[in-house]
Amino acid sequence: MSETEKHPVSIAVVGSGYVGLVAAACFAEIGHKVVCVDNDESKIQSLQQGGIPIHEDFLPELLERHRNSRIRFTTDLRTATQEAEAIFIAVGTPQSETGSADLSYVDAVASEIARSIDGYKVIVEKSTVPVYTNEWICRVIARNGISTDHFDVTSNPEFLREGTAVVDFLHPDRIVIGAQTERAASLLQKIYAPLTTGAYYDQSDAVPGPCSRQKTPPILQTSTKAAEIIKHASNAFLATKISFINAVANICEAVGADVEDVARGMGMDARIGPKFLRAGVGYGGSCFPKDVAAFRNVAELVGVDFALLREVEAINEEQKQRFFQKIRSALWTFRGKSLCVLGLAFKGGTDDIRESPALDIVRQLLNEGSKVNAFDPAAEERTREVIPPNAQMRYCSDPYEAATDADAVLILNDWPEFAELNLERLRSVLRYPIVVDGRNLYDPAKMAQMGFTYLSVGRPANIHHSGISTQDPQAGLYKPGATRGF
């Protein structure tokens, strides 16, 4: 029996969203006793009955494995606080009107925890929060009359990506612990010990991933402020990498070079690395747009003009517009056209449509009078809530149904199945063999060979006309005010 199985830590995770639910399931998976708290009664009821509110690989298996043994669900934060040694706050920190993070949910949860504390507790910020949030939580708790001997507030940022969240959590690149006291730091170290000692990876039913007994995740202990900044700075840096390669892609388009070659060449430099250099339709999701704005706001508040981040945001906005113009350049006009849209979520592997560039594009297409036949393997249900089906918007059950009689296919996110389409079949059902690919999933030469007009991002366009295929380095180039036929 492992040390954790003998002495599990009692953990409460407040918030059952993408981060909270995954963290709760993974803490149970590594042996702890977890209660997941949310004030949404219907969500908790559904979780208690075996419902899974989000699409995430391995999550159903973990919840099934630990439900009612190591993990349970409740709306009762008071009891959960009293029973827990560590309370992880994983509630939303949405963007406010000024771009700063709205911390009212964190504030409300901290106050309620304060009213329930009956002994020493370690309170852990798991949500992405701006620097100084730790101090604020301490103040809120102290204001409720709790002595500083009875609690510590730590920062333990989460770096998981949606779609691969469980693997990212259990096989992290690093575990960051921001703590002001050794007592608090050692509880967090104990919580993560099954990962940092490698004991978890020896289990025969462990979720597979890059870590192992030989390659355990490193733990970095810092101040709480540094931990808070690590999270914001990491997301802002990754978004910068994406905007950088998108700007480079636009240069590539202008001169007829292939951005995929350029990214490969850059990524071979170990100082740059190959990841997050995929040009596309711009970044989206619930994190990058919000966190870049929040970090810029933090900088402003402390008197630093982080102009670079404004540029990162501007490039991202322009990238979406450029892509829309690229579609226009393939179709000339939109009214009355029938378009097959593959991808609605902000990226493949998830059902999350928050800040999805794909939805921005769909809305613009609908505004311009096109008919949209959409397919996404997981995001249809969520999209239906914001864009209900009607005569203009149809949801389809597979890519070929969506492509039937369409004037073009638009690839708007990177589900693996979109890179493995049967191209013969696709071409045979389309009205015109046009593919505008926002994720560079296909080889332009192969697409030309197959008879497609193929436009992608940062690569020369292949214009297929009357059986003759030509490469036009300028065809994908956005010229404000201009439209281009083929």
Q: Which is nearer to ligand UGA, 169 or 395 (CB)?
A: 169
Q: Where are the beta strands (DSSP E) in 403-444?
A: 408-411, 434-437
Q: Is the dihedral of CA 99, 100, 106, 107 positive or negative?
A: negative
Rounded to 10°, the helix 59-66/18-29 angle is: 50
Q: Which DSSP string do the residues of 12-63 spell out, in sequence order?
A: EEE--SHHHHHHHHHHHHTT-EEEEE-S-HHHHHHHHTT---S--TTHHHHH
Cα separation, 388 vs 402, in Å, equals 16
> At closest approach, how far in Å is the CB of 160 from ligand UGA?
5
Phi, psi of 36 (to 5 degrees): -105, 125
Amino acid (one-letter) located at 393: M
Q: Which is nearer to ligand UGA, 160 or 339 (CB)?
A: 160
> At closest approach, how far in Å is the CB of 167 from ligand UGA?
12
On whether the CB atoms of residues 57 and 349 are closer than 8 A, the answer is yes
Residues forming contacts to ligand UGA in the complex (CB under 6 A) are 128, 158-162, 235, 238, 242, 276-278, 280, 283-285, 287-288, 346-347
Q: Which is nearer to ligand UGA, 172 or 194 (CB)?
A: 172
Q: Which is nearer to ligand UGA, 90 or 185 (CB)?
A: 90
Q: Which is nearer to ligand UGA, 18 or 478 (CB)?
A: 18
Phi, psi of 300 (to 5 degrees): -60, -45
> At closest approach, how far in Å is the CB of 50 from ligand UGA?
25
Take residue 373 and report the two structure tokens written for it. Answer: 């036949």
Catalytically annotated residues: 287
CA proximity to 231, closest of 274, 294, 182, 310: 294
> At closest approach, how far in Å is the CB of 287 from ligand UGA?
3
Q: Which is nearer to ligand UGA, 288 or 415 (CB)?
A: 288
On whether the CB atoms of residues 224 and 179 are closer than 8 A, the answer is yes
> At closest approach, how far in Å is the CB of 285 from ligand UGA?
4
> At closest approach, how far in Å is the CB of 202 from ligand UGA?
26
Cα separation, 188 vs 208, in Å, equals 23
